[in-house]
Amino acid sequence: MTEFDAAFDRAHIWHPFTQMKDHESDPPVPIAGAEGVDLLLADGRRVLDGISSWWTNIHGHGHPRLVTALARQGAQVDHVMFAGFTHAPAQELVRRLLPRLPRGLSRCFFSDNGSTAVEVALKMAFQAQVQKGGKGRTRFGALAEGYHGDTLGAVGVGELDNFMTGVFRPLLLACDRLAVPEDPRREVAPDLAGWDAALAAATEGLRTFFAAHGERLAAFIAEPMLQAAGGMRMWPPELLVELRTQCDRHGVYLILDEVATGFGRTGTLFACEQARVRPDFLCLSKGLTGGILPLSLTWTTDEVYGHFWGDYGEYRTFFHGHSYTANPLACAVACASLTLFDDEAVLDRARILGAALREAWTGLAGHPAVRQARTLGTVAACRIVDPRTGAPHPAGDRFSWRFHRKALDHGLLIRPIGDCLYLMPPLVTPPERIREAVATVSTLLG
Ligand SMILES: Cc1ncc(COP(=O)(O)O)c(C=O)c1O
């Protein structure tokens, strides 16, 4: 392997979500290794992967069982197209997931990343509506401040007109957005005065939204319990229950995007379990392979599947697929990851981690720069303000970028989203490492 060459990187490699000019002065950080819950930087530093490498990692890096599954599968069948062919790793993955899913989800479509899992759900929901005669359902419903990925369809149902999406406005899907409040019960020091009334008003707002838009929507998409990229907004399960009710009442499919929340992040295997809500579509990715290979699934029901059933000439087929659909290597690793959930009691460990995180976060809540400290499962978040003014740091200060870089010097990978500072570590992170990480955050906040 050649040495890392900053000039070569700058000359040829375009990094995601990055103003590349920044790398003129602040080059990307070379990674030389990954071991357990740590990343090993090329200069010898060891940093805790405090955000699970973009919310993907579950069991730590380089888990021998996942690495072995990958090597074994590689020696058997590395890849084959999935139209007209099938293979054991794909079947095994579906077999293992079926009993763990909300009831009713019986049909699984494979793709490669969270955005395409969403894209598939949007297209399938729309086509199902058309093929069952639901003409005029040409719009989607979505939560305000949502995020569902970066392909154009996914952008169309995400938050509109922010710095990431505004430029694409003329190209996007027709979408009506519903605002939901954050749930103060997640805060470590909640003030619940007025919450019952606020929840009742939000429920009424949801009903009004469906009364106005319901008949024109093909589907409504939401990240259950936690709007992650929108700033770790934890929203009430009661509203998810009402969302299901209103979707049923108005003939709208409910798509739950568990790309970020799936596989134990919020305390249960899937976040929708906490509201006991069963979606018509469930999108999974990120933690599906334990965070080491790209793979995604869009699950749906027999009812939806039935609208695509017919003779070829009827053109009811779902004409969609990707070159690497159901890649056997990724499927084999995903199977091994699910086995680890049982063999290493990962959800129990996540519960212990979640309790340690909440305790440490409660300590952090007293810091003068911290507002609205809250947790859900193994996710902890807060808003950061300038303690001198009580207001967020001005965007031009690049607080989140500077904080991210400073934290690396102190052994922690953390990357605030705007003024939202959060931790979302691998589920197997030892509690003492999390206590150290929160102490580091506190020190760095000054
Ligand atoms: C809720 C949600 N949906 C979809 C996506 C898109 O996933 P990917 O980056 O794999 O395309 C993300 C990514 O962060 C996400 O958080």
Dist. CA 367 → ligand 1 center (Å): 31
- CB distance 229 to ligand 1 below 6 Å: yes
Mean pLDDT, residues 44-68 taken together: 98
Mean pLDDT, residues 189-193 taken together: 96
Sheet with strand 420-423: strands edge to edge: 370-376, 379-384, 420-423
Nearest to 360 by CA among 440, 260, 444, 252: 440
Nearest to 109 by CA among 82, 127, 135: 82
CA–CA gap between residue 141 and residue 123 (Å, rounded): 14
Residue whose CA lies nearest to ligand 1 atom number 2? 148
Q: What is the pLDDT of residue 233?
A: 98
**Ligand 1 atom at shortest distance from the alpha carbon of 149:** 6
CA distances from 49 to 56, 177, 351, 377 (A): 11, 34, 18, 17
Q: At a CB cut-off of 8 Å and minimum separation 6, what does 132 contact?
A: 307
- CB distance 289 to ligand 1 below 6 Å: no
CA angle 145, 163, 263 (to 5 degrees): 45
Dist. CA 157 → ligand 1 center (Å): 12
CA angle 102, 107, 111 (to 5 degrees): 105
Residue whose CA lies nearest to ligand 1 atom number 8? 114
Mean pLDDT, residues 208-235 taken together: 98
Q: Is the pLDDT of residue 1 over 60?
A: no
CA–CA gap between residue 430 and residue 188 (Å, rounded): 21
Instruction: Give the number of other CB atoms < 10 A from CB of residue 369.
Output: 20
- CB distance 260 to ligand 1 below 6 Å: yes
pLDDT band at 17 (very low <50, low <70, confident <90, very high): very high
Dist. CA 288 → ligand 1 center (Å): 12
CB 228 within 8 A of CB 158: no
Dist. CA 295 → ligand 1 center (Å): 12
pLDDT tens-place string over residues 132-160: 997 899 999 999 999 999 999 999 999 98
- Against a cut of 0.95, is the pTM above it? yes
- CB distance 227 to ligand 1 below 6 Å: no
Mean pLDDT of the chain: 97
Residue whose CA lies nearest to ligand 1 atom number 4? 148
pLDDT tens-place string over residues 353-379: 999 999 999 999 999 999 999 999 999
pLDDT tens-place string over residues 381-416: 999 999 999 999 998 889 999 999 999 999 999 999
Alpha helices in 98-194 (DSSP H): 114-131, 152-156
Mean pLDDT, residues 301-320 taken together: 97
CA distances from 327 to 64, 89, 112, 414 (A): 20, 9, 8, 31
- CB distance 114 to ligand 1 below 6 Å: yes
CA–CA gap between residue 82 and residue 253 (Å, rounded): 27
Tokens for 392? Answer: 């967020």
Pocket residue to mutate for ligand 1, from 120, 150, 259, most atoms within 8 A of Cβ? 259
Beta strand pairing status for 379-384 and 420-423? antiparallel
